[in-house]
Structure 1
Amino acid sequence: MEMKQSQLLSKLLVFFMMTILFQSPALGGGSIRNTKHNLSTSGPGSIRAASKDEICVFCHTPPNPMLNRFKWNRMNTTTSYTPYQSSTLRSKVGQPTGSSRLCLSCHDGTIALGAMITEPEEVRFKGGIRFMPEDKPSKIGTDLSDDHPISMVYDAGLAAENNELLSPSLLPLEIKLDDDDQLQCTSCHDPHDDTHGKFLVMSNRYSSLCTSCHVKEGWPQSSHAVSGTNVNRSERKIREDMENRTVAENGCENCHRPHTASGHERLLIHRFEEDNCLVCHNGKVAVTDIESDLSKTYSHPVQDYVGIHDAAEDFTSGDVLAHVECTDCHNPHQAGKETVALSGLPGSNLGVVGINAGGQQVAKAQSLNEICFKCHSDHSMIAELQITRKIEQLNTRLEFSSGNPSHHPVGNLGVNADVPSLMSPWTVNSL
């Protein structure tokens, strides 16, 4: 009996304290008071109520003394969403669940901002605003295929299957999964605290938030992770707060956008894959002007293709459609300046899938010719020879086969022991 009384008193005390916080605009806001999530009349943003001065009610009902917690005060959305999908995604992503549905009840723009369970009528907002305005970047909509996946199970099994994800047991304390081990909006965003901007749970400078979950091989040493070159916002579709930061400081967000990305499947800032590279590799950020090189008479026509390249494509399957993109030859998560000593593979080509001399696909090409063989060997992207030859051969891998009577030493040593015309430092033992 005494135990039950003690528990009841404890719950009543919590209820009393929460009620004070809930009803007081001065206290109820806490760290939320001076953020855009304060939709009351005291809110600092342009979207705020015309007369409602309570802060918490826009998301929460008054606390229940028997539950020791708030309940949602938003109308439940019945909207059907288009979830994020990717060929490299190993977790099943369906309709949003849990707290993410509460976030979307405002941010998808389908439910009035002033529609609350505890209010008999819709709360009016200043300027006659009812729904999240279309011109606001916070308007996510119902198409979530261009947003980072949410409501997906992130457990040890997923991390073991995908070696590019950190085990959930090793995640920093700021990143939280829900009770069902699902990643939700609140895993990256704290709706009550805007200390780091965009309500992020931690700063994403130098991609600290992204790399708390995503473990990309070679990324810490790559040029995109360490470059101290400033990025001009006029050259990139980046947020205003990222202007004049270095490439390293912006990190992943030089190329990727976690919400409303133009390139949906890879969450790329630009829909045309090469544009994500050439806005920097045009001599204005990166030193070398690759954009001009690609406009020459003979070049890889990366501008001719869109949406064909796939990070999971298998060149031995026979199913890869003809195309060429920057990422067919370069891995932006590993590319750097240092040349591999033994193979001579340039740092700019590190971590790229290749085809070896035997015709097998390899996860990491060990030499440049293995990268070339992806498109110029068994799975030739060239339909016909441009020059008439005695022996017509479109498979360049076979042209350089060590079984040929003669061949240039590409991948294998040549058959001639004496080649006096070779220029220094090349020798007959060079590849």
Structure 2
Amino acid sequence: MRAEELAAASTRKRGARISRRDVLSVARDLFERQGYEGTTTDDIAAAARITKRSLYRHFGSKEQLLYELHDGFLGDLLTAVENLSGSPEERLRSVVGAHIGNLREHGRDVKVFYEEVKHIGSARQGDLLRRQQEYERAVVEILRDGVETGDFTVADPKLAAKAILGGLTDCYRWFDTSDTGNAGAIADELNRLILHGVEPPNQPGTPVRLTPRLASALQERATTAGESPVDRIVTAATHLFSTRGYHSTTTQQIADRAGITKGALYYHVKYKEEILVQIMRNLLDRYLSILDLGRTLDLPVPQRIASYIIGQTYAISLDREAVAVLIEEQKYLPDDMAPEIDEKERFAYSVFQQSLVEGTTSGVLDPVDLRVANLFMTGMVTFAYRWYQPGDGLDVSDLGVRFAELALHGVRTRPKRRQGSSRKR
């Protein structure tokens, strides 16, 4: 009994020394490994080696822990944009540098937060949205100032700000936070892409135009279809996984939403994991079909890249819930099925990369860091699933064109094309 009392006293002593940041780090590690819903406050207290009572003294709830992960990295970003000075370009460069520096410090916090944010209640969601909009407004103001000075050519500064910040934030999915010396180089490449795009900056940009036939073909390949029982099960599960999370969703809930019995569900699928894999497989197969269409057509490289981006925009806008599942629930993929999803993602990356290499080799694209360009452009579009709402005044075709223009041309004002000239690509 004496030994147990000493152990308890030692635990209390260590608990007294632990900081809020230490507890947050422990919670983040558990959320990352087990998911928010798969982690209890008992788990967090035990891992932090404090009592549950001490945990609640630091944080009022498990939700508060998740909220404060966001508060840490967004608070730093808001501080960074408060006192910016210089030209619009200098200020925009500062924002990019601060954002990547923030990911270097808080990359895992960002990852966990965006994968688990669905579990934050509506009151705190409103507060998060207000703070995110404050950060976004600072970037919109920079872009508008650049348009006024003639330094930037941006048709819609608000949309451009969302795209830029989306691409920057999506870097958490590939940026190696352990390679601290690489942050400056990554920020430089991203600034180059945001300012100038992938086309040579000293030339007029390629007009982004798709024929009605190509636009229709891309949209058709991006569209979900199917009314079979399996399709209904997948559709029901996609909604539930994206709104409740995979861990919190039961097969009974999926069956109820699909309008079938639980027995009928198990007739078509054996395990809940099988449905998760099918959601991701369907989405990636549609995207690969879009890439295949652009690859088989005889399009100049810039227009081919535009077709990839516009087609991906269709896919995301038409099935935002499936994108949410792909991005946020991959930790729950069974070990024997994860390689298939990983291979599809790698193949999509390689097809896009092939066009970038071809364009650079032929001189129609600028020699940039092609890996960063590929990941940033893809992330810029992918991240739109978090904010784009069909019917909010911006047609998905126009959205795709704006994304493509930003990827190809950037925001920096380019030389004007001489009237009557036609530069072949």
TM range (shorter): under 0.3
Name the structure with the higher helix share: 2
Higher CA-based Rg? 1
Report the TM-score, using the length of structure 2 for normalisation: 0.25
